[in-house]
Amino acid sequence: MTKLTFIAHDGTHFDVDAENGSTVMENAIRNAVPGIEAECGGACACATCHVYVDEAWTAEVGEPEAMEEDMLDFAYDVQPNSRLSCQIKVRDALDGLVVRVPARQG
């Protein structure tokens, strides 16, 4: 199991055990993390699972691919560390990953 931490907009921490191969978004939904809507169900077809990757983790998580960049155009307050959490796959190297939930999704 890989540990993930979601920090909700109000500062609440959600520490969850995630299975490798699942997406960060799926773990947010399973654990009812507030502020992750995932309207399209993980098809990279909306921008409602937007998260900010903690600065310590941006290099390991990596950059969004072109399709995800296109979708990020529709997100609120996009920053250099913005990602769509449905496009981040959980793996051993992400053990301890911290992501922040934005004030709103679009």
Partner 1 sequence: MTNITRTDVLIIGAGPVGLFAVFELGLFDMKCHLIDILDRPGGQCAELYPEKPIYDIPGWPSISAQGLVDKLLVQIHPFKPEFTYNRMVSSLEKLEDGSFRVVTDENEVFEAKVVVIAAGGGSFQPKRPPIPGIEPYEGKSVFYSVRRMEDFRGHDLVIVGGGDSALDWTLNLQPVAKSVTLVHRRPEFRAAPDSVNKMYAMQEMKELDFQVGQVTGLTGADGQLSSAIIKGPDGDVEVACTRMLPFFGLTMKLGPIADWGLNLHENMIPVDTEKFQTSVPGIFAVGDINWYPGKLKLILSGFHEVALMAQAAKRIISPGERIVFQYTTSSTSLQKKLGVHD
Tokens of 48: 């409602």
> In the complex with partner 1, which residue's Cβ is closer, 16 or 78?
78
Rounded alpha-carbon distances, angstroms, from residue 59 to 18, 30, 36, 51, 55? 20, 26, 23, 15, 8
Alpha-carbon torsion angle 60, 72, 81, 88, nearest 10: -30
| Residue from 34, 70, 91, 95 binding partner 1 (CB under 8 A) | 70
Q: Segment contacting partner 1 (CB under 8 A): 3-11, 25-33, 52-60, 73-81? A: 73-81
Amino acid at 61: V
Q: Segment contacting partner 1 (CB under 8 A): 7-15, 22-30, 66-74, 90-98? A: 66-74
The residue ranges that bind partner 1 (CB under 8 A) are 39-40, 43, 45-46, 69-70, 72-78, 104, 106
